[in-house]
Amino acid sequence: MNKVDDIKDLSKLGKKIENYKFTYNKEGLEAFENKLGNDIFVKLDAFEFTTLCPITGQPDFADIIINYVPDNYLVESKSLKMYLFGFRNEGNFHEAVVSKIMQDLIDLLDPNYIEVIGKFSARGGIAILPFVNYAKKGTKYEDWLDKRKLDYARQ
């Protein structure tokens, strides 16, 4: 994982990628300095996410939604897209996928608040829709943790 203070130092943005990697690798994630100076809520929607069932090897399709309130860094979206491609050939349970994505983004960004939602397509008549969230200790966003979970559960 790479954090840069100047966007000109990003390695993927604006560059042609010859060979996409389809194996999990968090090292390709990049972040750039948040110079906004105010709280902003960022919503990222990866609606063509795929991974494999760890038991059958069959593909699982999902809409992965990442909501976060950055502190000092923002995730670079092309690096996020390539990172998410890395799950394509990985066997993961749905709950583990959203947890892994959230933890990797916490490690990279140290955000004030983050949540990751997986809206996986139904298999066998059951759709699995996991939700995980995190708030930095000592921030006003700690109050969001239980409220956001309850709001999601009520949907």
Q: Side-chain half-sphere of 51: how many Cα atoms within 13 Å?
A: 27
pLDDT digits (tens, 9 = 90+) for 36-76: 988 899 999 999 999 999 999 999 999 999 999 999 999 99
Stronger pLDDT, 75 or 21, i.e. the higher one: 75
Q: Confirm whether 60 is a catalytic residue.
A: yes
Q: Which of 18, 132, 35 is nearest to 82 (CA)?
A: 18
- Out of 6, 45, 53, 107, the active site residue is 53
Average pLDDT over residues 10-20: 63
Token representation of residue 141: 């966003």
Please report, in angstroms and rounded to a whole number, the separation of the first and last CA atoms in the chain.
Answer: 34
Alpha helices in 27-139 (DSSP H): 77-85, 94-109
Q: Which of 13-17, 84-88, 122-126 has the lowest mean pLDDT?
A: 13-17
**Distance in angstroms (rounded) separating the CA atoms of residues 50 and 27:** 19
Q: Confirm whether 6 is a catalytic residue.
A: no
Q: Which of 72, 71, 70, 100 is nearest to 84 (CA)?
A: 100
- Out of 9, 45, 60, 146, the active site residue is 60
